[in-house]
Every structure is written in C-alpha cells, then in structure tokens.
Structure 1
C-alpha cells in the first residue's frame, strides 16, 4: 500500500466552503467507481477553515499518471472536477490547472 497526503485550498468564502462540503455528502456512484478502478483503496478529505487535506491510500498498482489517464477519458469525472473547481483556488507555486498539491513527509513515528 502507498499513502499520499495532498492539500488544496478552497476560496475563502463561506458559501464556497459550505457548497464544497455539501457536495461531498453524497458523491455519485460513478465517481466512487472511478476512485476504485484507479487503485485507491481508501480516501478521506479533512477541512480546517478553507484548507483541505486529502489522505489517499493506493494499492501497489496505483499511480497518479494512471489516475489522470482514467479521469481524462471519463466524462463524469471531468464534470465533477469542473464543478468542484469553482470552489477551489490554486496554492502558491502550483500550475494554473493544478489544485491539489502533494505534501512532503518530514517526520514519522512508529511505536515499537
């Protein structure tokens, strides 16, 4: 298994934040299926104010390249991403078309 942590910012507007939260209360089966097919076995999104953190666990075959290719050919995913994009902003230093940014692990503790 592979674990990735990504971050994204929402527009700092109460209406945008609430709309983003609401649309994640009932994600369509087509979107859930696209996540599963890509090799993602667990995904959660957490929010603090307008900052989002995604914890993504992929199987041994998961790659962001594979996920991007699958998403490009899926009209439902394209529609979902465009819809969500209206609530998101770009993090400083990211390309104009990239809203989620990968974090770098700098510390880890595991109990004996």
Structure 2
C-alpha cells in the first residue's frame, strides 16, 4: 500500500474553519463512494490552525489522474468540491489551480 501526505490551507477565519469541520462530520455517501471507488483505502484529515494535513493510503490501482477524471464526471463530487473551495485557500507555493499539495517525506523511523 502506498501512502501520500498532502497539505492545504483553510481561509483563516474561525467561522469558516468551523464550517469545514462541520461538513466533514457528515460527508455524504456519494463522496465516500467516490473516494473508495478510486482505490483510496484510508483518508484522514488533520487540522492545526488553518492548515489541513491529509494522509491517504491507496491500493495498487490508485492514480491521481484517474481520480481527477472520475471527479470531473461526478456531479456530487463537483458540488462538494465547489463548496469546499469556498472555505479553502491554496498554499503560497502551490501551482496555479492546485489545491492539495503532495508533501515530501524527509524522515522515517
């Protein structure tokens, strides 16, 4: 199983951060199905301040490109992503249009 760690910021506003947390307490079955359907076996999101940290463990068939294609054709995912985009802001070093930035592993024990 392969692991990816990603980061993204929320807009630095306590009300927006609370909205993001609330939305993630009740993620719809359609969104969960799209995640699992892409061969993502584990997805955990952590928060500190307004910085989000995501850990994904994926199966052999997972591909970021394939997941993006699947998401483009999924109306429910597009609605979810549109809503989340109103709460998120790109990291200062993110490429144009990039939301979640893959982190580089620099230490392992």
**Aligned-partner Cα distance in 1 for 2:105–2:63:** 18
Whole-angstrom CA distance in 1 between matches of 2:26 and 2:37: 19
Give the Cα separation in 2 of the matches to 1:106 and 1:96.
25
TM-score, with length taken from structure 2: 0.97
Deviation at residue 63 of structure 1 after TM alignment: 0.9
1:44 aligns with 2:34: no
Q: Please give the alpha-carbon distance, in whole angstroms, between the structure 1 residues aligned to 2:48 and 2:39.
A: 27
- TM-score, scaled to structure 1: 0.95
State whether structure 2 residue 89 is matched by structure 1 residue 94: no
Backbone CA RMSD of aligned residues = 0.7
Q: What is the CA–CA distance in structure 1 between the aligned matches of 2:73 and 2:93, rounded to whole Å?
A: 28
Rg comparison, structure with higher value: 1
SS of 2:22 mapped into structure 1: helix
Match in the other structure for 1:80: 80
Once the 2 structures are TM-superposed, how far is the Cα of residue 52 of structure 1 from its aligned partner? Answer: 0.3
Structure 1 stretches lacking a partner, 5+ long:
none
The 5 Å alignment of 1:1-112 reads 1-109=1-109
Q: How many residues align?
A: 109
Displacement over 4 Å in runs of 4+: none
